[in-house]
Amino acid sequence: MKEINSIESYNAKIKNVIITEQEIKDAVKKAGKEIDAIYDGTPILLVSILKGSFVFMADICRAVSVPCEIGFMCAKSYYEGTVSSGVVRITMDLDRDISNYHVVIVEDIVDTGRTLTDITTILKARSPRSLRVVTLLDKPSRRLVDFRPDIALFTIPDYFVIGYGLDCAEYYRNLPYIAEYNQAED
Ligand code: 5GP
């Protein structure tokens, strides 16, 4: 990614909005109801995979009505610009034993599927009562391993996207919508 040295160069990389703020709000509300229906009053532990899912986590935790605790993990899936190198590493782990919990992993996007395959393998080995995955975005056309989220709010084509928690070189996480990143500007 070229250095951002002006507001014009920053804005030029936001190609087009593919999911609006309102569409996200509506989908989060619906996903909250789906989670409520699955757990039917049973307490859950929502686990946000940082950093990308921090915005989604803040909204989905307020869209569920079942009793819920929250936890955070940090996984790095080494991206050089917009291309994944395929190496996933847990850089910050959960602060508790999850063996008594119904765990719901909250992720921003499933792309190749490697990150969540690794994270679910690690968490399953800790014997939670149950484990499910809710992802904001799903790019099934990019899958390299067979991974299927339990709930995906939006299925998108093979675009590199930014906004609502998703970054490019740490910028754009604070956009309230999801946009396609303009790679032609790099
Ligand atoms: P996977 O392991 O499924 O290939 O990748 C998952 C991680 O890659 C996501 O949590 C996210 O950090 C990053 N990623 C994949 N696709 C995109 C994308 O289109 N935009 C951004 N900003 N990150 C992505």
Model confidence over 58-107: pLDDT tens digits?
Answer: 999 999 999 999 999 998 766 555 555 556 788 999 999 999 999 999 99
Two structure tokens written together for 18? 């593919």
**168 Rama sector, left if φ>0, alpha if ψ -120 to 50, beta otherwise:** beta
- Active-site residues, by number, are 111
Q: Whose CA is nearest to atom 12 of ligand 1?
A: 52
Exposed (0-12), middle (13-18) or buried (19+): which is 13, by Cβ within 10 Å? buried
Range 27-44 burial, b when 16+ CB lie within 10 A, else e:
bbeebbeebeebbeeeeb
* CA 57 / ligand 1 centre spacing (Å): 16
- From the CB of 175, is ligand 1 less than 6 Å away? no
Q: Whose CA is nearest to atom 20 of ligand 1?
A: 161
Q: Whose CA is nearest to atom 9 of ligand 1?
A: 109
* Residue that the structure tokens 């919508």 belong to: 177
Show the DSSP H helices in the chain as ranges.
7-12, 21-39, 54-63, 114-124
* CA 80 / ligand 1 centre spacing (Å): 11
> What's the rounded mean pLDDT across residues 133-159?
96
* CA 145 / ligand 1 centre spacing (Å): 14
Two structure tokens written together for 173? 């996480």
- Whole-number pLDDT of residue 87: 64
- What percent of the chain is predicted at pLDDT more than 90? 83
